Amino acid sequence: MMPTTDAPVVELDEVTKRYGVVSALDRVSIAARRGELLAVVGPSGCGKTTLLQIIAGLTDVDAGRVTVSGRAVAGAGAWVPPEHRHVGIVFQEHALFPHLTVADNVGFGLPRAADRRVRCAEALGLVALSHLAGRYPHELSGGEQQRVALARALAPRPAVVLLDEPFSSLDANLRGRLRQQTVEVLRASDATAIFVTHDRQEALSIGDRVAVLHDGALEQIDRPQAVFHAPRTRFVATFIGEADLLAGQVRDGLAHTVVGALPVTGVEGDGPVDVMVRPHEVVVEVAGDGNATVGHHEFRGAYVLHTLVLDTGDELRCDVPHTRTLDQGARVRVRVDTSHRLAAFPAAGRRAVTASPTGPASRD
The DSSP output letter for 24 is: E
Residues sharing a CB contact under 8 Å with residue 229, sequence separation 6 or more, in sequence order: 340, 343
Q: Is 350 within a domain?
A: no
pLDDT value for 178 = 85
Q: Is 353 within a domain?
A: no
Q: Is 177 within a domain?
A: yes
pLDDT tens profile 31-40 = 999 999 999 9
- How many degrees, rounded to 5, is the angle at CA 100 between CA 95 and CA 102? 80
pLDDT value for 348 = 61
- How many degrees, rounded to 5, is the angle at CA 187 between CA 102 and CA 211? 105
Structural domains counted in the chain: 2
Q: Is 355 within a domain?
A: no
Half-sphere exposure of residue 67, counting CA atoms within 13 Å on the CB side?
Answer: 16
Band (321; pLDDT cuts 50, 70, 90): very high
Alpha-carbon distance 299 to 303, whole Å? 7
Q: Is 359 within a domain?
A: no
pTM as predicted: 0.87
pLDDT tens profile 38-50 = 999 999 999 999 9
Q: Is 183 in the same domain as 38?
A: yes
Contact (CB, 8 A) for 280 and 319: yes
Q: Of all residues in the chain, what percent carry a pLDDT higher than 90?
A: 75
Half-sphere exposure of residue 62, counting CA atoms within 13 Å on the CB side?
Answer: 14
pLDDT tens profile 170-218 = 777 778 888 888 899 999 888 999 999 999 999 999 999 999 999 999 9
pLDDT value for 346 = 93
Q: Is 265 in the same domain as 214?
A: no
pLDDT tens profile 59-68 = 999 999 999 9
Residues sharing a CB contact under 8 Å with residue 122, sequence separation 6 or more, in sequence order: 155
Residue 351 CB burial class (10 angstroms; 0-12, 13-18, ≥19): middle
pLDDT above 80: residue 109: no
Q: Is 149 in the same domain as 292?
A: no
The DSSP output letter for 84 is: G
Q: Is 180 in the same domain as 293?
A: no
Q: Is 256 in the same domain as 182?
A: no
**Cα 311 → chain centroid:** 36
Q: Is 226 in the same domain as 300?
A: no
Q: Is 329 in the same domain as 186?
A: no
The domain that holds 336 is classified in CATH as: 2.40.50.140
Q: Is 363 within a domain?
A: no
Q: Is 207 in the same domain as 114?
A: yes
The domain that holds 174 is classified in CATH as: 3.40.50.300
Cα torsion 188, 194, 195, 201 to 10°: value is: 90
Domain that holds residue 226: 8-236
Nearest to 37 by CA among 211, 241, 156: 211
DSSP 63-79: EEEEEETTEEEEETTEE
pLDDT value for 114 = 60
Domain closes at, from 236, 267, 289: 236
Helix axis angle for 142-154 and 116-126, nearest 10°, is 130
CA distances from 94 to 5, 133, 179 (A): 33, 17, 15
